[in-house]
Amino acid sequence: MYCQQVIESPRKPLRCSACKAVLYCSKECAKRGWNHATVNAQPGTPTHKELCADNARHMKRLPETQAITKQFPWGRLETDGSFNRDIARGRFGVLGSDDVGFWSHKGGPVPHQNNGPFKPAPSGYMASFSRMIEGFDHLDGKDLLKTRHLSDQDGWKLPSRLIPYRDFPSDDKRPIIVTEFGEPVKDWDSWYRWRKIPKESPAALIMDFPMSVYQMVVNCLEITNATIGSEEKRIQIHIQMLGVEVELNYLPLFSELALLLPYHDIKLVMFGYSVHKLWQESRKHPKSLVAKSSPTTPIFTYKAPVECGSGSIEVFLQGESPTWSPTDSPFGRPDALVACNAGLGSYPDWVPVIIAAHVLEIPFATTEYAEQSAETQRSSFPIMVMGRAAPRKEYPIELNPFQSPGQRGLPMIRLPNTINGFTLVVVKNEEKKVNVLGKAPEKSLEEKFAEFELD
């Protein structure tokens, strides 16, 4: 790990005997890494000596994350404990960057369109890694430049029995209203049973994004839940989703929130670099779904059947800017901010978001790949908000039961690291606030935010 050089056969990596999380090419490399992190590390980067005990604690999560993968018949673990998503997708014929419906995605090991402040290392593994990812290009949300949304069949491209439909072709494909399911939809096992699909279906490989939003809103921030609404008392929820990228490739799947939350009317507003990039590209496609949408005109709407509780969702794209501002949305104060695989410590654009959430007391939660990175991020929050707002007493981190199955293939570490792997609560209001239809609006964000000036 210290030298960041590629270890080629027949050489075998050495593994730290204490934490079992870090790999080295030699004993000399291990000795240097113990006290000096990596050869290209920035000043102040924690060393292996400083992290070893925490690494050992994080490694105790490995059986839990592996169990999530092993419950699926396609969840094969490689010899290094990782999961090859490309092989899994290839088995179902849905591997590709374009023209594979909801499965379309950027190739390579890095899904992000925006690399932020990342700068390639001059040599070693990271240098070759950065050169490799430069060869991949993909426009997230490309199918939204068409004139109509993908149907369930065209989007999923799977046999009918493996599809979690949003437009149900028959009664037997429709789930029971979630409040009569008999148990909470709390993990993949319960979701698959509620949705009446076998675990042979690879749906969890992309449903982790809408299900992680559900987990953050309902179980982490406790903004609402499936039982709080009724036919006589519909609940309005305004969620702003930041840092949106791959979510654009399967935007209709967020209809799941309307099925999971009966008698709710949900506004989901998406922000992010990729949203802005797609919005710019839509100028070349004036008849597209994106071009016909606006900050007040949804790009996607869905209403669940009456038998499922008639929940509804409207999805909006806020694409005029690549970054978020608390005054951008025409719908006023959000009930929650959420972000998937945010990397709060990796992109400076998150700093004003974290400050604003504290100052304005906007509930805010994210998912992160690794528990270690989530802990590193929360340790910096008190410094970020210093002089602007009081830090929270705690910033809870939990294993996300709706994480995408499978350890990411990282060559230098073995720490549990999965897509949407862990939830991190940045701001949570203990007083539960939901908007009942007809309730008078609260004081505007503009009025509150005018008192503060964020850099």
Show the domain range for 13.
Answer: 1-60
Confidence of residue 337 (pLDDT cuts 50, 70, 90): very high
- Looking at the fold, whether 56 and 147 belong to one and the same domain comes out as no
The answer to whether position 130 is within a domain reads: no
- Where b means 16+ CB within 10 Å and e means fewer, 158-183 reads beeeebbbbeeeeeebbbebbbeeee
pLDDT number for residue 436: 58
417-427/397-399 β-pairing:
antiparallel
Are 233 and 329 in the same domain? yes
State the pLDDT confidence band at 256, using cuts at 50, 70 and 90.
Answer: very high
Same domain, 356 and 210: yes
pLDDT at 126 over 60: no
Q: Which pLDDT score is estimated for 207?
A: 99
* Pair of tokens at residue 449: 């935010």
236-243: average pLDDT = 98
Is residue 175 domain-shared with residue 301, that is, in the same domain?
A: yes
Which candidate, 294, 313, 292, 293, places its Cα nearest to that of 303?
313
**Based on the domain organization, do 161 and 49 belong to the same domain?**
no
Same domain? For 218 and 338 the reply is: yes
Q: How far is it, in rounded angstroms, from Cα 51 to Cα 68?
A: 26
**Per-residue confidence at 446, pLDDT binned at 50, 70, 90?**
low
Element (DSSP H or E) covering residue 300 = strand 300-303
Q: Is residue 424 part of a domain?
A: yes
The answer as to whether 119 is a domain residue is no
Structural domain count of the chain:
2
Average pLDDT value for residue range 208-229: 98
Mean pLDDT over 85-112 rounds to 88
Domain edge (last residue) among 27, 45, 60: 60
- Residue 193 three-state SS: helix
Q: Is residue 407 part of a domain?
A: yes
Q: Which of 43, 60, 77 is the last residue of a domain?
A: 60
Taking Cα atoms as reference points, which of 445, 428, 438 lies closest to residue 235?
Answer: 438
Q: What is the DSSP letter of 426?
A: E
- pLDDT score at 156: 99
Amino acid at the residue 123: S
pLDDT of residue 13: 83
* Residues 396 and 186: beta-carbon distance below 8 Å: no
Q: Categorize the per-residue pLDDT at 2 as very low, low, confident or very high, splitting at 50, 70 and 90.
A: low
In a domain? residue 135: no
- Residue 109 or residue 343, greater confidence: 343
Helix (H, G, I), strand (E, B) or coil at 367: strand
Q: What angle do CA 451, 454, 455 make, to 5 degrees?
A: 150
Which of these ranges, 169-178, 194-203, 308-317, 320-329, has the smallest mean pLDDT? 320-329
φ and ψ at residue 398, rounded to 5 degrees:
-140, 155
Same domain, 245 and 339: yes
What rounded mean pLDDT belongs to the chain?
A: 90
- Structure-model confidence comparison of residues 432 and 189, the more confident one: 189
Q: Are residues 56 and 154 in the same domain?
A: no
Whole-number pLDDT of residue 409: 86
Residue 440 has pLDDT above 50, yes or no: no
Domain presence at residue 129 = no
Residue at 80 is within a domain? no
Predicted confidence (pLDDT) at residue 111 exceeds the cutoff of 70: no
Beta-carbon neighbour count of residue 82 at 10 Å? 17
CB neighbourhood size of 424 (10 A): 26
pTM: 0.91
Residues 6+ away with beta carbon under 8 Å from 377: 344, 345, 368, 424
Verify that 53 and 158 share a domain, yes or no.
no
Q: Is residue 258 situated within a structural domain? A: yes
Separation CA 256–CA 269 (nearest Å): 15
| Amino acid 117: pLDDT | 53
Residues 249 and 397 in one domain: yes
Residue 33 confidence (pLDDT): 82
155 and 53 within one domain: no
Evaluate if residue 228 carries a pLDDT over 70.
yes
Domain co-membership, 35 together with 150: no
- Residue 109 phi/psi, 5° resolution? -85, -10
Q: Alpha-carbon distance 51 to 327, whole Å?
A: 40
Alpha helices by DSSP H, listed for 201-294, are 204-214, 256-260, 273-281, 289-292
- What's the pLDDT at 216? 99
pLDDT at 43: 79
Percentage of residues of the chain with pLDDT beyond 70: 86
Domain end residue (candidates: 60, 87, 111) = 60
